[in-house]
Structure 1
């Protein structure tokens, strides 16, 4: 995820390595903070949720939030036994306003699941095909005759990640309120040498999802925000979920502030703070930066979305197939089956598919923008939903706090 911004996105994308991937939005995909090897292989293959001890689960959540130095965090768990929610801390470092389950946050790369779903709906309508070459819709894309729509969804196009560039990260540091246009984001990615030939590898690249967002607008003839609203938010009743205009850096009330360490350029090589700053973060002599109202337009269709824990839970349940309202049963199953190991030589590596991740028994994604990290997952076998978010991201040690908290909770539950 390279830069904080990159890190964000990448994390999003592969963060749940926890079980497998991280999912965020701002940065390029860094190496996962944890791997599926953290989960016993038998549990990863056929996990079954055990009895839920609410007090113990809440205590573990609070312990991990403190361990990762979070000012505030939220947990929501749904199962056939009911719903459990828990909150930890406050909306800002040293503040006094408690976080709330109803707080709005920036969800980073979880936004990618919206974009992928819209594309699949267009596939279902016969307006685009997964094996269509990208050049059909964007003749300006290098290797576009050989890159398919499916490869964009799978992060296997070879297109380089624009959020890993010095240009973007320096621009974000210089002017956090800058309004970035989707076309200039795409241009940054297309100007870089490809990472590999189409279909010959895997690299979590936000360029893929920005390109898909532009294609969705082209085909549907509407702004992306309206497409999301018409196709996803309204049908599912996601009244607390939104996709801001490019020049809108506000958050709906109530919301949690979001903080991050150091600068985007400073963390371009690694999200982990260097030793001197890490020591300062630990002893309180070095303070994080408030990124709450930084403009998220640089993430656009790859990570600029806003939501709440409750709406994320509703969304990831629909994403995982509960209720069957987004895609046909056949296409939905194909989407779940599309999540395959990102390393063909390691079956236990993170699994990624058509803008959907699989970690253990859960399908979903994770997301990160400077200041916010979130995880959402749905287990269709046990009908269990888990959402976690945290408001100081990445953590000083470079990890995605919400994803790491979620990993600990899942290990406990299963």
Structure 2
């Protein structure tokens, strides 16, 4: 408890110092809303809703110690809300802006699996093909299907839980990883359960699917995603980086060092360890478009999209996971997290509503991810019958 209180005090003190130092120079303090010229900043629609969203987001920003957040909420004919609160850089207090590029972590899975499903539509692969047909050396690979990899029911051990990998990552967060290096850490362990019998969220699954896409398309995964998804969808600021490249403008990302608990700047850490499961970069406008695209299956046949959305329950209340996609209290999409950054991109078909949240920290508050806190607060206002991330006693659904 003492350590927790001390960390909270230090983070609060840093934020306070930033505000004090910024004031004389005219920089915008944490909590202010900043949207660059040319970007829609007003929350057209009911002004009361916009004010409620402003208050809810700022409250989380302050209470959870989040440096900065970009939020977009769109409901056709009702609401067009774009805001950026807080700072992009805690050293110079420069404000975060809604046009900034962000690392989107596990939202990458929606792109990798969409590429796979396009190959299904083209007759190049089958969802019930064994992974051994495409990637040799997978434990029990002749019984693990592409479908089970996509819906997180393979039983393969997650390499990110391997102690040797964790030690290597924290010793050198700038290291460039190759997919097969990552898989060796996973395959050093026995499988956790028989394929298809349980749910376990594992990056190992999506890394394998990335290798399948490369093998079948005869292209690098970054090229395949560009050719098959981002270019046809006009997602001009969305890509899978080869290493730690990060096009400007971008905010600094803040994480918590495992060994000391101190805050660290993870902006230039190499995300290659996430590869097909978590390394992509995007921005607010692209993710707004992608939210509806992936939730409604614009790049897939109706039959394949229907299979994608055949989600099975996860241990989290009100949550189910399909093929590289999450359905949480009716909201379809995915969250993302990696050191320094968190994201959430979700779509509610009944309202045709889209929510995108991008934060420049992955440090939890009372055990919860910032993206979940923002998602819950926003959806409680705009869709009280569908509250993202709500626990049973928080959910307004009967």
Equivalent position to 2:336, from 364, 367, 371: 367
For structure 2, which runs of at least 5 residues remain unmatched after alignment?
1-45, 384-398
Deviation at 1:133, TM superposition (A): 1.2
Deviation at 1:288, TM superposition (A): 1.1
1:122 partner SS: helix
For the 8 Å contact 2:244–2:268, the answer to whether it is kept is yes
1:88-136 superposed Cα distances (whole Å, 9 cap, x missing partner): 1101235321101111111000000001101111111111111111111
Match of 1:195 in 2: 192
1:208 partner SS: helix
Q: Quote the RMSD (CA, aligned, Å).
A: 1.7
Equivalent position to 2:245, from 242, 250, 261: 250
For the 8 Å contact 1:373–1:403, the answer to whether it is kept is no
Match of 2:5 in 1: none
Matches within 5 A, 1:129-208: 129-208=126-205
1:56 partner SS: helix
| Partners of 1:53 and 1:379 in 2: CA distance | 18
Structure 1-normalised TM-score?
0.78
| Partners of 2:376 and 2:359 in 1: CA distance | 14
Structure 2-normalised TM-score?
0.82
Q: Number of paired residues?
A: 337
Higher relative contact order (CA 8 A, sep 6+): 1
For the 8 Å contact 1:78–1:384, the answer to whether it is kept is yes
Equivalent position to 2:323, from 351, 354, 358: 354
| Partners of 2:59 and 2:91 in 1: CA distance | 18
Match of 1:296 in 2: 271
| Partners of 1:170 and 1:92 in 2: CA distance | 28
My pick for the range that moved more, 228-237 or 76-85, is 76-85
1:144 partner SS: coil
1:297 partner SS: helix
Larger Cα-atom Rg: 2
| Partners of 2:169 and 2:236 in 1: CA distance | 30
Match of 1:210 in 2: 207
For the 8 Å contact 1:258–1:290, the answer to whether it is kept is yes
Distance 1:118 1:255, change over 3 A: same
| Partners of 1:116 and 1:379 in 2: CA distance | 20
Deviation at 1:370, TM superposition (A): 0.5
